[in-house]
Amino acid sequence: MSSSRLCWPTPNGLPALGPTAVLAACVALLAISGPAVELDLMRLIAAIPRMIEFGGHLLVLPDWEYLPTLGVNMLQTLEMTFLATSIALVVSLPLGVLAAANASPHPMVFHITRNLLTLMRALPELVWALVFVSAVGLGPLPGIMALAFVTVGFMGKFFAESIEVIDLRQVEGVAAHGAGWLQLRTFAFFPQAFPDFVGTVMYILDHNLRAAAILGLVGAGGIGYDLVMAMRMFDYDRLLPIALSIYVVVTVLDRLSDRFRRRLI
């Protein structure tokens, strides 16, 4: 009956070492961290009727009077996203150059800038928002500051990486005609990295919109505040409109940025 014995497509019939080891490591990690995450099947199952009940609560007529405020707050969220990303863009361009190994003026500058960018993006936006709210008060300003700060960390890194993969021969060509340091970066580095830059900005815009939508949780402006309040006060007639408007705006931006990216590249 050897023809019906099962085996894997390897020389010894056992599963390949690499994938098995990785799988085993993951399962082990999950098993160890199970208690830390308070994994409890009973709790999950018990929650299902509550989830269904919650879903039922959501299906009510929206709070029509609230809708204009919803519009204003969503607009504020969009504005925060756009402004913060724009500020970050302006700051990240020079920082990206400084953090690119092939465009930086000095290795020391390169290392310092790279590490600075790493630190700037290490903490999530919400943490910075908490801190800035504590510093300048409530409102969209701390949100914009937090978003811009973290975005510089990411954008600077992505820009630097895009600059590092350009064709140096094109730079040589421009340099051979006596171009200065800044001119080289403007006319030889930047145009090559431009398509990647556009892609990065689109991606970050998308990410920032989602981030801006939750900053309101800590009072840093945007729709996040409405969202949390609606949950806490059980304003079900506001929850669905808020969730839907976030969904719609995020999706529209997603599609728009896809199209925009295709046109520019």
The stretch among 7-15, 162-170, 171-179, 191-199 that binds other proteins (CB under 8 A) is 7-15
- Which of 206, 229, 246, 236 lies closest to 75, judged by CA? 246
Number of residues that bind other proteins (CB under 8 A): 65
Q: Is there a contact between 195 and 265 (Cβ–Cβ < 8 Å)?
A: yes
Contact predicate 100/163, CB 8 Å: yes
Question: Which residue, 46 or 173, is less far from other proteins as judged by CB?
Answer: 46
Which residues between 148 and 207 bind other proteins (CB under 8 A)? none
The phi, psi pair for 44, rounded to 5°, reads -65, -45
Residue in 138, 141, 179, 198 binding other proteins, rule: CB under 8 A: 141
Rounded to a whole number of angstroms, the distance between the first and last alpha carbons of the chain is 61
Q: How far is 213 from 81, CA to CA, in rounded Å?
A: 9
Choose which of 146, 166, 202, 246 interacts with other proteins (CB under 8 A): 246
Instruction: Pick the piece of the chain touching other proteins (CB under 8 A) from 97-105, 168-176, 190-198, 214-222.
Output: 214-222
The residues in 25-64 that bind other proteins, with binding defined as CB under 8 A, are 26, 29-30, 33-34, 36-40, 43-44, 47, 50-51, 54
Q: How far is the CB of 221 from other proteins (least distance, A)?
A: 8
Structural tokens at position 263: 């046109």
- Two structure tokens written together for 191: 């145009």
Residue from 88, 130, 146, 205 touching other proteins (CB under 8 A): that is 130
Determine the 3-state secondary structure of 194 from DSSP: helix
Alpha-carbon dihedral sign for residues 42, 45, 49, 55: positive
Helices (H), 59-139: 67-98, 107-122, 125-136
135 binds other proteins (CB under 8 A): yes
Contact positions vs other proteins (CB under 8 A):
2-11, 15, 26, 29-30, 33-34, 36-40, 43-44, 47, 50-51, 54, 75-76, 79-80, 82-83, 86, 118-119, 122-124, 126-127, 130-131, 134-136, 140-141, 144, 210, 213-214, 217-218, 221, 224, 227-228, 231, 243, 246-247, 250-251, 254
